[in-house]
Structure 1
Amino acid sequence: MNAVRALPSKMKTITRLRCEIFQTSYNPKNLRTGAKYLRSRLRGPSMMEYYPKTISLADVKRECPELEIVNEAEEQRLADVEDRKRRGKGTPKKAKKKEDSRRSAKKR
């Protein structure tokens, strides 16, 4: 009769020892630990292999500056930004201090 009562505590001891030996986590209360996700293989490298690397004109220009490649779309974009700045339609300046921001000016 005593052997039957002592069985659960011995099983816990055996389980704890097994976890120490095989370096697994001991979780007697079956709490959620996220171990399944931490053990799983990372998805990033396989996703990077699946999607091929696209080469842009800017990449080629950066790698080989001696070719003097001109990206017409980028040159046009920069000209448009400069034109907007001259007309006063450019991006607003960033506030250096909290008092310079537009939100604090509205609250006054």
Structure 2
Amino acid sequence: MPAVARARLSLLESLRCSIFATSYNPTSLRTGAKYLRARLRGPSMLNYYPKIVKISHFNKLFPGLDLEDTDEIQRRNDLAALRARGKGAPKKAKTKEQSRRLAKKR
């Protein structure tokens, strides 16, 4: 039984690829097709982390409710305590003359 010619095999391969909608790559170059066919990770990652509903969301949706956000109140109290001890964030400069960075460069 004679061997099949290489040209016939490549023709058969290209025909098979066109029928089954796969990419014809006779030189075996890297195409990245494996990564393009892979399932996207973003949607499953979004579903993995639960949606955290905070009271501030309800206050934005329903302005008339005026619910108390205890976490926000605690955060503000902590910031006030830090500022009282001199550990808070520095005040923002309103003008270029007030900027410490500009004064250091001169």
TM-score normalised by structure 1 residue count:
0.58
Q: Secondary structure at the match of 1:67?
A: coil
The one-letter code of the counterpart of 2:54 is S
The aligned residue for residue 14 of structure 2 is 16
Which residue number in structure 2 is paired with residue 46 of structure 1?
Answer: 44
Structure 2 portions without partners, runs of 5+: 93-100
Q: Structure 1 residues 47 and 16 mapped into 2: Cα distance closer, same or farther (>3 Å)? A: same
Q: Please identify which structure carries the higher helix content.
A: 1
Q: 1:72 to 1:54 in 2, by over 3 A?
A: closer
State the alpha-carbon separation in 1 of the partners of residues 73 and 5 from structure 2. 79
Aligned match of 1:34: 32
What amino acid maps onto 1:64 in structure 2?
A: F
Give the total of aligned pairs: 98
The Cα shift of 1:55 comes to 0.9
Q: After TM superposition, give the deviation of residue 23 of structure 1 in Å.
A: 1.3
Deviations along 1:14-42, one digit per CA (max 9) or x if unpaired, are: 11111112111111111111111111212
Q: 1:91 to 1:21 in 2, by over 3 A?
A: farther
Q: Give 5+ residue unaligned stretches, structure 1.
A: 94-101
C-alpha distance in 2 between matches for 1:90 and 1:38 = 46
Superposed CA RMSD in Å reads: 3.9
TM-score normalized by structure 2?
0.59
